[in-house]
Amino acid sequence: MNKNTRSPWAWIPTLYFAEGLPYFAVMSLAVIMYQNMGLSDKEVAFYTSWLGTPWIIKPLWSPFIDLIRTKRFWVLAMQGLMAAAFACIAFFLPTGFFVQATMACFALMAFASATHDIAADGYYMLALSSKDQSFFVGLRNTFYRCGSIFGQGVLVMLAGLLAEGHIIPSVKGNVALAWALVFYLLCAIFIGLFLYHSIAMPKTEVEEQPKSTAKQLMQNFLDTVVTFFRKPHIGTALFFILTYRLGESQLGKIAPLFVLASPEKGGLGLSTTTVGGIYGTLGVIALLLGGIVAGIMVSRKGLKYWILPMALAINVPDLLYVALAEMQCANLWIVGSFVAIEQFGYGIGFAAYMLYLIHFAQGPYKTAHYALATGLMAAGMSLPGMIAGYMSDWLGYTHFFLFVCLCTLPGIIAALVIRKQLPA
């Protein structure tokens, strides 16, 4: 790195907040928004899961990110594009054709966000040593997850307060306008992130890449794919990547709909404001603690030692939703405590997942290989999520959450298998 290098503390938290927020705006915030706007559970789960496609296929253009311009350039360009996409969503929400128009805007934002992920993760691996990558993994994943909590918590609560007329009385009862104001805020946030990162992210000499011809780019892409699938233990790695969050992929899609659904439908009947408040307060605190604990755990005894306990931490708390659905308990203290436990476990377990992906991507084409791995990770989230709405309608919330718990078993088994392949 050159003399302009700044402390990683100056850019890692905001960079990974910017990486997490749009993903969860598409995969979670949109779920609640469309539910508030009158779409059914099946429609919401199916449509929003399709929006995950760019994260699945992003390896198709990852070689171009590796070879054209710099990672820093792509990070800044995509943050600007996402700001524009958020503004377009806000503009179209109050219209009579909001579903088609906002879905198109969400798709554009998903493409920009997937490209941003490739560039940001590549920048992280180029700008930091292997030791610093391990040290900052807890912080990076915590702020990535903070992007999700901000989206699922603070912004949801804001939308609820706006719709209830607590902030701007004239907005009361106008759900579309309330959500439009939320997305205009997201636009402003990403404009601010673009301006901040243009100053805070250092320019690294190693990041500069020579220009390549189209033929060279295609050959590079083919080499990237071939070398990825020739990596040692690729079979068990794919098993781990695709199943580690199999339960979470369905829980995350239905849990917000469950807590918002009326008791007559088997839900908890909580308000949008209350749900946002729980996820945006207790959830944030628990997540931060989980990420911090994960970083300390891995830095002291390594991933090999902790991979199985961390896999249990992310999956076992899913049982709490079985209890909530069976009791239909809407007590805020109990719901808040269960959310906090689940978020704490997620903070621990997700750190192990991302650190394994970094480990597996090492070697030639590490940025593109990491993009391939995270694309497969996205497939493991989006594809099961497409059927989650149908499964919950068929089984009912209690039996659906039991089904989710069964789906966590392959991921736990996969963690046990790859443990033998990790370096001590």
Task: Assess if residue 424 is contained within a domain.
Answer: no
CATH number of the domain enclosing 181: 1.20.1250.20
Total structural domains in the chain?
Answer: 1
Long-range CB pairs of 20-23, under 8 A, 24+ apart, other chains included = 20/143, 20/144, 20/145, 20/146, 20/147, 20/148, 21/147, 21/148, 21/150, 21/151, 21/186, 21/189, 22/82, 22/109, 22/110, 22/112, 22/113, 22/116, 22/147, 23/55, 23/113, 23/117, 23/147, 23/148
User: Taking the model in full, what pTM does it have?
Assistant: 0.75
Distances from the Cα of 324 to the Cαs of 261, 319, 407, in angstroms?
A: 13, 9, 18
Q: What's at 361, amino acid-wise?
A: A
pLDDT at residue 177 in the model: 95
The stretch 384-392 carries a mean pLDDT of 86
pLDDT at residue 399 in the model: 94
* CB contact burial 7-20 (16+ within 10 A = b; e otherwise): ebeebbbbbbbbbb
Distances from the Cα of 169 to the Cαs of 172, 173, 180, 271, 394, in angstroms?
A: 6, 9, 15, 18, 40
What residues have CB less than 8 Å from 359, skipping those under 6 apart? 303, 422
| Closest to 347 (Cα-Cα) out of 410, 277, 256, 286 | 286
pLDDT band for 214, please (50, 70, 90 cuts): low
Q: What is the pLDDT of residues 160-199, one digit of tens each?
A: 999 999 999 999 989 999 999 999 999 999 999 999 999 9
Q: What is the pLDDT of residues 28-55, one digit of tens each?
A: 789 889 989 988 888 888 888 888 888 8
Task: Assess if residue 380 is contained within a domain.
Answer: yes
pLDDT at residue 273 in the model: 86
What residues have CB less than 8 Å from 170, skipping those under 6 apart? none
pLDDT band for 5, please (50, 70, 90 cuts): low
pLDDT at residue 104 in the model: 94
Distances from the Cα of 185 to the Cαs of 191, 249, 289, 377, in angstroms?
A: 10, 28, 27, 29
Q: What is the 3-state secondary structure (H, E, C) of 43-103?
A: HHHHHHHHCCHHHHHHHHCHHHHHHCCCHHHHHHHHHHHHHHHHHHHHHHCCCCCHHHHHH
Q: What is the pLDDT of residues 301-312, one digit of tens each?
A: 888 999 999 999
87 vs 349: CA distance, rounded Å: 34
Whole-angstrom Cα Rg for the chain: 21
- Provide the residue count of the chain: 424
Does the pLDDT at position 210 exceed 70? no
pLDDT at residue 125 in the model: 79
147 vs 253: CA distance, rounded Å: 17
Task: Assess if residue 63 is contained within a domain.
Answer: yes
Task: Identify which has the larger pLDDT, 372 or 17.
Answer: 17
Task: Assess if residue 72 is contained within a domain.
Answer: yes
Note whether 44 and 50 are within 8 A (CB). Answer: no
219 vs 215: CA distance, rounded Å: 6
Q: What is the pLDDT of residues 287-327, one digit of tens each?
A: 878 888 888 888 888 889 999 999 999 999 999 999 999 99
Domain with 184 in it: 8-207+216-419
Per the listing, tokens 């959500």 go with 179
Per the listing, tokens 């060279």 go with 216
Note whether 23 and 121 are within 8 A (CB). Answer: no
Cα dihedral 277/279/280/283 (nearest 10): 130
Task: Assess if residue 1 is contained within a domain.
Answer: no
Q: What is the DSSP letter of 347?
A: H
> How high does pLDDT run on average in the chain?
86
Q: Report the run of H or E that residue 340 belongs to, with start and end.
A: helix 332-361
Cα dihedral 397/402/406/412 (nearest 10): 100
Task: Assess if residue 3 is contained within a domain.
Answer: no
